[in-house]
Each structure stands twice: as C-alpha cells, then as structure tokens.
C-alpha cells in the first residue's frame, strides 16, 4: 500500500521496549494502525501478548518477544528476533523505564542501595544505549531509520526524592544528542520524547493507593498549563511523528511533551519554597 501522507508509517518495522502497557502499548497500537509492523517487547508477557492480540484484531501486524532491557543478551536477541520476523529494523523506540520507587522505599542518597541505583541505571540509561548498539547493524540497512528514546520532565530539572530516576533520565537526553552525532553518517536520526505526567497504569495505581486521592489528583492536574495530565495516546502521536517522514529533518531533538508544565514551574515551585 502506498503512503498517503507524510505521517504514515506504511512499511516501517518497529521494535518497542516496555510495550506491554501505557505509552509503549499506545505507541505500538498507533504505529500498527498507520501501517507499521511492530515487535512488542516487555518483561510482562501477559500484557505484552494482549497488546499484540489487540493489534492483530484491528488488522495490524505485530509479534511479541520477552526482553529485560537490563540484560545485554536479551537485548541482542530482541533485535535479531525483530529482524528475523520482519526482515529488518527501521525504528527503535527505547520506551522501557523504571523508578526506584517501583521496588524500594529507601530512595534518599543516604539510604538507597548501590544495587537500587544500578538497577535503575541498567534499565533507563544503559538499556537504550545497548539496544541502539545491537539494532545498529539492522538500522544501517534502512533508508528510513530512526531511534527514539523516552526521557521525562526529569531530564530537565532536579526533583525531590528522584536521584536514580532523574539522573538516568537526564542522561537519556544527552545520550540522544551524542547518538545523533555518532549515527548521522549512516543517515539514522535520533530523537527523544520527554513526557510529563501521563495517565498510565502506574499513575492509576498511584492514585488508587494515595492517602488523599483528591489532593494528589489536583496536584497532578495543576502542574500542566492545560489543567490536566496527558494521555498515553497523546504521547504516542509525538513518537510516531518522530518516526515518520514528516520528521525527516528532525534530529538530535529532546522534545518536551508536558502540557506546558515546565514553562512555568521549576524545582522551587515543586518543593513549595516560593
């Protein structure tokens, strides 16, 4: 099928890490609707396979591969499986990420273990680096190749009680720029999408377990100039744009998608020190 617009993804072969739920799953579904073949990968095989089933039920092309991005061998296997399944790789979306709060309450500098920091680093920063390394031989054979990393508002500012997550997401922003420089000779674009507060499964869980849900909801909404949090499909639109021919001259960009939150708020506001 011929492409009908610059934002169509017809014929592109995607591999997406952390694609079982949330932004990753929304991106997988949108890319498939626009004509891409999508390799969904995650450590959550149940939700990952359900994402693939939803794509196929809608008439799209998708496959699933288990992958823990902290494991170099699994990352290498993911790229080989994608190339074997679809005949190559055109787009790598490094979406998988984690915060230290996901598995420990000891998150201050004094109490956080080295193992906790290493785990967050291995997933959030080393993961995208090695995924790109192992995808590179396949990306070099594509004439529409791009890499998209997932940053955060934490890529721009220091936040309280977020040392591991914030420092690794800051690293992702500069990793993006360095990869853009190194991969430019191969015609491979590298960009970064940095979501602000987005309604995902993890945010819903946070709201459900909040001591004061109403107060937390107000706080999350008030951060954005639009008075609400983002939705995963809205972030997926930006990622798919960056992968499309419409973004053919977009390279080395760290794109903030936060409803304007950081246009007016900074760390002092967040800490309530004004």
Give phi and psi for 110, each to the nearest 5. -70, -35
Chain-centroid distance, C-alpha 117? 19
Beta strands 198-199 and 61-66 are unpaired
Residue 246 included in any domain: yes
- C-alpha span between 214 and 52 (Å, rounded): 35
Q: What is the 3-state secondary structure (H, E, C) of 173-236?
A: HHHHHHHHHHHHHHCCEEEEEEECCEECHHHHHHHHCCCCHHHHHHHHHHCCCCCCCEEHHHHH
Q: What is the pLDDT of residue 196?
A: 83
Q: What is the pLDDT of residue 7?
A: 80
Residue 71 included in any domain: yes
Strand partners, 94: 149
pTM over 0.85: yes
For 153, the 3-state DSSP assignment is helix
Q: Label residue 20 by pLDDT band (50, 70, 90).
A: very high
Residue 18 included in any domain: yes
Single out the catalytic residue among 64, 93, 134, 165: 165
Q: Label residue 1 by pLDDT band (50, 70, 90).
A: very low
pLDDT top residue among 81 and 112: 81
Structural domain total, the chain: 1
Whether residue 43 is predicted with pLDDT greater than 80 in this model: the reply is yes
Residue 220 included in any domain: no
Q: In this structure, what CATH number is given to the domain that contains residue 245?
A: 3.40.50.720
Residue 207 included in any domain: no
> What share of the chain in percent tops pLDDT 70?
87
Range of lowest pLDDT (36-45, 52-61, 79-88, 202-211): 202-211
159 is an active site residue: no
Whether the CB-CB separation of 135 and 179 falls below 8 Å is answered with: no
Q: Label residue 100 by pLDDT band (50, 70, 90).
A: confident
Residue 205 included in any domain: no
- C-alpha span between 181 and 159 (Å, rounded): 29
Question: Which residues does 211 contact at the CB level (< 8 Å), separation at least 6?
Answer: none
Q: Label residue 210 by pLDDT band (50, 70, 90).
A: low
pLDDT top residue among 1 and 47: 47
Supply the range of the domain harboring residue 67. Answer: 13-200+230-258+266-271
Mind listing the pLDDT tens digit for each residue in 214-236? Answer: 776 666 676 778 888 789 999 99
Residue 26 included in any domain: yes
Whether residue 55 is predicted with pLDDT greater than 80 in this model: the reply is yes
Whether the CB-CB separation of 62 and 12 falls below 8 Å is answered with: no
Both tokens of 157, joined, read 């500012």
User: How many residues belong to the chain?
Assistant: 274
- C-alpha span between 51 and 125 (Å, rounded): 25
Whether the CB-CB separation of 155 and 174 falls below 8 Å is answered with: no
Q: Over range 128-143, report the average pLDDT.
A: 99
Residue 6 included in any domain: no
Give residue for tokens 């979501």: 195
- C-alpha span between 274 and 269 (Å, rounded): 6
pLDDT top residue among 209 and 156: 156
- Write down the mean pLDDT value for the chain: 89
Alpha helices, DSSP H only, in the chain? 22-33, 45-57, 72-86, 114-121, 127-139, 163-183, 201-208, 213-222, 232-243, 261-264, 267-271
Whether residue 248 is predicted with pLDDT greater than 50 in this model: the reply is yes
Please name the helix (run of DSSP H) or strand (run of DSSP E) that holds residue 113, with its range, or none: none
């Amino acid at each position: 099928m011929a492409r009908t617009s610059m934002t169509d993804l017809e014929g592109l072969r995607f591999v997406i890490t952390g694609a079982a739920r949330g932004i990753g799953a929304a991106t997988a579904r949108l890319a498939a609707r626009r004509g891409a073949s999508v390799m969904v990968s995650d450590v959550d095989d149940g939700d990952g396979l359900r994402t693939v089933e939803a794509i196929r039920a809608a008439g799209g092309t998708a496959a699933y591969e288990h992958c823990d991005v902290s494991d170099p061998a699994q990352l290498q296997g993911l790229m080989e499986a994608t190339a074997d399944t679809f005949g190559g790789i055109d787009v790598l979306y490094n979406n998988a990420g984690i915060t230290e709060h996901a598995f420990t309450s000891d998150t201050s500098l004094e109490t956080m273990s080295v193992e906790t920091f290493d785990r967050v680093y291995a997933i959030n920063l080393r993961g995208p680096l090695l995924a790109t390394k192992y995808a590179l031989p396949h990306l070099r054979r594509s004439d529409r190749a791009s890499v998209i990393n997932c940053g955060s508002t934490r890529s721009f500012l220091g936040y309280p009680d977020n040392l591991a997550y914030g420092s690794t997401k800051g690293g992702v922003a500069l990793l993006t720029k360095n990869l853009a420089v190194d991969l430019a000779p191969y015609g491979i674009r590298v960009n970064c999408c940095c979501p602000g507060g987005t309604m995902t499964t993890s945010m819903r869980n946070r709201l459900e377990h909040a001591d004061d849900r109403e107060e937390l909801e107000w706080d999350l909404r008030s951060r954005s100039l639009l008075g609400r949090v983002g939705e995963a499909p809205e972030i997926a639109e930006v990622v798919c744009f960056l992968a499309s021919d419409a973004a053919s001259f977009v390279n080395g960009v760290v794109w903030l998608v936060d409803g304007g939150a950081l246009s007016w708020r900074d760390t002092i506001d967040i800490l309530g020190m004004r």
